[in-house]
A = this chain, B = another copy of it.
């Protein structure tokens, strides 16, 4: 089942909480000028203005309501101004539902080893051609405004893991000052701005960061700096600490997360939004998510297996192809392998989110979670 929300003001951005409060599982709707998004939502990643291997129509058919695009990649190639002159990112890539863009901060810190961080911004070398680029909080917003993003993220410093307390404080405070600068940049009508909570692996700093950002005031809040190599328990603990200090009436977005289990755990703690390359990247590497856990398609046990990837799955791939055929495509390096596997994995995530939403609506998230783990571990 699915609850349908409608916005009274279709020109702007909004969020309505249907079930839940500050903590615990929440059901809601995000309203944007390009349509409504049901939360908890998982956003597939379209790094270079394409969710790898899929068309926009396929994404829609899979039930995808919102995707993420990468500011860093599009800024470097083909350039945000070019995309703006061509009518914006939605038109460029033929995706007409909402798009959230990250700020580029994470990529600068993960893809560009020769970066130099100052109060003003971050200087780095393009991973494509080595040219030097200087990204400021203001420029990060301007790029996203040009792209025509529906949800714009502030530029932050993604605190590395591990980091000591004094570095984490300094980094967090820089992120807060940058967030204030980002808020001052003009956006187009309907474009929301999300702050990003940092604070490393320190509960009190997470709370301080969430409180400080809430004071500045944003349309929603990213939870950054998690899923960076820390133990799962720490990710859950930091999410919990953060969420308690965020306003109930704004969406919370756990950035770059994650595995299906991570999503379930975070939903339980009050997170509304997720994005991750896992379903698409794993698909291309032949790792499939199924109701019974993960499946590595290249394994020889599937060589002559006439069964679908997941007998319980209703996706296009499972309705039409055997494991034997998918293994053949994968071992032969065929493009269709990437396509069919991606369809399956994205379907898995979209169905997971539908099941999660139905369970919250019907106030049985606890039993949903138990059944989810029982099956995966069976």
Contact = CB atoms under 8 A, between A and B. Distances in A.
A91 to B, nearest CB: 9
A242 B335 CA distance: 38
Interface in A292-316: 303-304, 306
A78 B50 CA distance: 32
A353 B159 CA distance: 60
A61 interface: no
Contacts of A306: 86-87
A15 to B, nearest CB: 31
A336 B49 CA distance: 10
Given A306-B86, A338-B335, A322 B92 contact: yes
A164 to B, nearest CB: 38
A170 to B, nearest CB: 36
Contacts of A53: 335-336, 339
Contacts of A86: 304, 306, 322, 324-325
A52 interface: yes
B335 A78 contact: no
Given A77-B331, A303-B78, A54 B324 contact: no
A85 interface: yes
A278 B254 CA distance: 46
A48 interface: yes
Contacts of A85: 304
A334 B338 CA distance: 11
A166 interface: no
A92 B336 contact: no
Interface string A327-355: 11101101110110000000000000000
13 contacts: A48-B328, A48-B334, A49-B325, A50-B329, A55-B339, A78-B327, A82-B303, A86-B322, A86-B325, A87-B306, A94-B325, A335-B335, A335-B339
